Chain A
Amino acid sequence: MAFYFVQFLTGLASAASLFLVASGLSIIFGVTRIVNFAHGAFYMLGAYVAFTLTERFSGAFGFWGGMVVAALVVAAIGVLVEMVLLRRIYHGPELFQLLATFGLTLMVEDLVVLIWGPEDLLGRRAPGFKGAVDFFGQNIPSYDLFLIALSPVVLGLLWLMFQRTRWGVLVRAATQDRDMVAALGVNQKWLFTSVFAVGVFLAALGGALQIPRDAVHHALDLRIIVDVFVVVVIGGLGSIIGAFVAAVLVSELNAFGILIFPKISIILVFLVMAVVLIVRPWGLFGKAEAPARRTPGLTVYPWRPLGPGERWAAVAALIAAATLPFVSGNYALTVGSEIAIFVIFAASLHFLMSVGGLASFGHAAYFGLGAYGVAFLAKMAGLPMIVSLLLGPLLGCLGAAVFGFFAVQLSGVYFAMLTLAFAQIVWSIAFQWVAVTGGDNGILGVWPEKWAASPSHFYWLSLGIAALAVAVLRIIVFSPFGFALRATRDSPLRSEAVGINGKRIQWTAFVIAGTVAGVAGALFAYLKGSVFPDSLGISLSVDALVMVLLGGVETVSGAVVGAIVYKALNIWLVSQTDLSKLVLGGFIVLIVVAFPKGIVGMLETIRNRRRPSLPKTALVTSRIETAE
Chain B
Amino acid sequence: MRRSYLLGAGLAIMVAGMANTAMAQSEIKIGEINSYSLLPAFTEPYRKGWQLSVEEINAAGGINGKKLIVVSKDDGGKPADAQTAANELVSSENVAMLTGTFLSNIGLAVSDFANQKKVFFLAAEPLTDAITWAKGNRYTFRLRPSNYMQAAMLVEEAAKLPAKRWATIAPNYEYGQSAVAVFKKLMSEKRPDIQWVDEQWPPQGKIDAGPVVQALAAANPEAILNVTFGADLVKFVREGNTRGLFKDRAVVSFLTGEPEYLDPLKEETPDGWIVTGYPWYSIKTPEHDAFLKAYQAKYNDYPRLGSIVGYQTIKSAAAILAKANSTDPEKLIAATEGLSVPSPFGEITFRKIDHQSTLGAYVGKTAVKDGKGVMVDSVYRKGSDYLPGDAEVEKLRPKE
Interface residues, chain A, CB within 8 Å of chain B?
3, 6-7, 10-11, 13-14, 110, 113, 118-122, 130-132, 138-141, 143-144, 212-215, 217-219, 223, 227, 251, 254-255, 258-259, 262-263, 265-266, 306, 310, 313-318, 320-321, 324, 327-332, 334-336, 338-339, 431-432, 434, 439-442, 444-445, 447, 455, 470, 524, 528-530, 532, 534-535, 539, 555-557, 560-561, 564-565, 568, 571-572, 574-575, 577-581, 599-600, 603-604, 607
* Bound-complex Cα distance A314 to B37 (A): 38
Tell me which of A317, A331, A556 contacts B88 (CB under 8 A). A331
**B159 in the interface (beta carbon within 8 A):** no
Closest to A432 in B: B172
Across the interface, do B214 and A10 meet the contact criterion of CB distance under 8 Å? yes
A249–chain B nearest beta-carbon distance, Å: 14
Say if the beta carbon of B352 comes within 8 Å of chain A: no
The answer to whether B175 touches A316, judged by C-beta atoms less than 8 angstroms apart, is: no
B-side interface mostly:
helix
A217, B36: Cα distance in complex, Å: 15
Per-position contact with A for B109-148: 1 when CB-CB < 8 Å, else 0? 1001101100000000000101000010000000000000
For B92, the closest partner residue in chain A by CB is: A331
Are A528 and B263 neighbours in the complex by a CB distance under 8 Å?
Answer: no
Q: Which residues of B contact A439 (CB under 8 A)?
A: 173-174, 177
Q: A122-B268, A441-B174 are in contact. Are A575 and B203 (CB under 8 A)?
A: no
Among B72-91, those with CB < 8 Å from A are: 73-76, 78-81, 83-85, 87-88, 91
Chain B residues 202-233 with CB under 8 Å of chain A are 202-203, 205-206, 208-212, 214-215, 217-218, 230-231
Q: Chain B: which residue is nearest A132 at the CB level?
A: B242
* Residue in A122, A320, A535, A579 whose beta carbon sits within 8 Å of that of B80 in the complex: A535
The residue that A442 contacts in the complex, of B10, B79, B177, B264, with Cβ under 8 A, is B79
Interface contact A324-B15, CB-CB below 8 Å: yes
Cα A431 to Cα B79 with chains together (Å)? 14
Chain B residue numbers with a CB within 8 Å of A140 are 243
Q: What are the residues of chain B within 8 A of A336 when measuring CB–CB?
A: 11, 14
A496 CB, min distance to chain B CBs, angstroms: 31
Closest to B78 in A: A534
Separation of A320 and B15 alpha carbons in the complex (Å): 13
B174 near A330: Cβ-Cβ < 8 Å:
no
Query: Which chain A positions have C-beta within 8 A of B1?
Result: 306, 310, 555-557, 600, 603-604, 607
Chain B nearest CB, measured from A599 CB (Å): 8
Are B80 and A532 within 8 A (Cβ)?
Answer: yes
B interface size (C-beta, 8 A): 85
B10 touches A564 (CB 8 A): yes
Closest to B242 in A: A141
A470 to B109, CA, bound (A): 30
Chain A residues near B113 (CB, 8 Å)? 529
The answer to whether A258 and B4 touch (CB under 8 A), given A119-B264, A141-B243, A535-B80, is: no
User: Can you list 12 A-B contacts with CB-CB less than 8 angstroms, sorted by A residue number?
Assistant: A11-B211, A14-B211, A110-B37, A214-B238, A258-B200, A259-B215, A317-B7, A332-B92, A339-B10, A440-B174, A534-B80, A574-B84
Contact check: which of A218, A258, A440 meets B105 at CB < 8 Å? A440
Q: How far is the CB of A446 from chain B (nearest CB, A)?
A: 9
A517 to chain B minimum Cβ distance, whole angstroms, is 16
Residue numbers in A under 8 Å from B65 (CB-CB): none
A139 in contact with B172 given A213-B235, A329-B20, A334-B84 (CB within 8 Å): no
Q: Which 7 A-B pairs have the closest CB atoms?
A: A317-B4, A118-B40, A215-B234, A331-B91, A255-B211, A314-B4, A330-B91
Residues of chain A contacted by B284 (CB below 8 angstroms): none
How close is B95's CB to chain A, nearest CB, in angstroms?
12
Contact B3 A561 (CB under 8 A): yes
Cβ-defined contact, A3 with B214, below 8 A:
yes
Which A residues lie within 8 Å of B294 (CB)? Answer: none
On chain B, the residues within 8 Å of A441 by CB distance are: 104-105, 108, 128, 130, 135, 174
- B10: chain A residues within 8 A (beta carbon): 339, 561, 564-565, 568
- Which residue of B is nearest A120, CB measured? B264
A10 touches which of B6, B210, B266 (Cβ 8 Å): B210
Report the Cα distance A15→B225, complex, angstroms: 28
Once bound together, how far apart are the Cα atoms of A214 and B210, in whole Å? Answer: 11
Is B160 engaged at the interface, CB distance under 8 Å to the other chain? no
CB neighbours (8 Å) of B330 from chain A are none
Min distance, Cβ B123 to any Cβ of chain A, angstroms: 13
Q: Contact at B243–A132, with CB atoms within 8 Å? A: yes
Report A432 CB to chain B, min CB distance, Å.
8
* CB contact between B200 and one of A262, A432, A442, A470 (< 8 Å): that residue: A262
Taking CB atoms, residues of chain B closer than 8 Å to A7 are 211, 214-215, 218
Residue from A113, A122, A539 in contact with B234 in the complex, judged by beta carbons closer than 8 Å: A122
- Chain B residues closer than 8 Å to A131, beta-carbon distance: 242
Tell whether A442 pairs with B108 under 8 Å between CB atoms, given A263-B172, A328-B18, A334-B91. yes
- Is B271's beta carbon under 8 Å from chain A? no
Contact A330 B87 (CB under 8 A): yes
Measured between C-beta atoms, what is the minimum distance from A437 to chain B in Å? 11
Complexed CA–CA distance, A135 and B130 (Å): 46
Known contacts: A7-B214, A215-B231. The answer to whether A574 contacts B239 by CB under 8 A is no
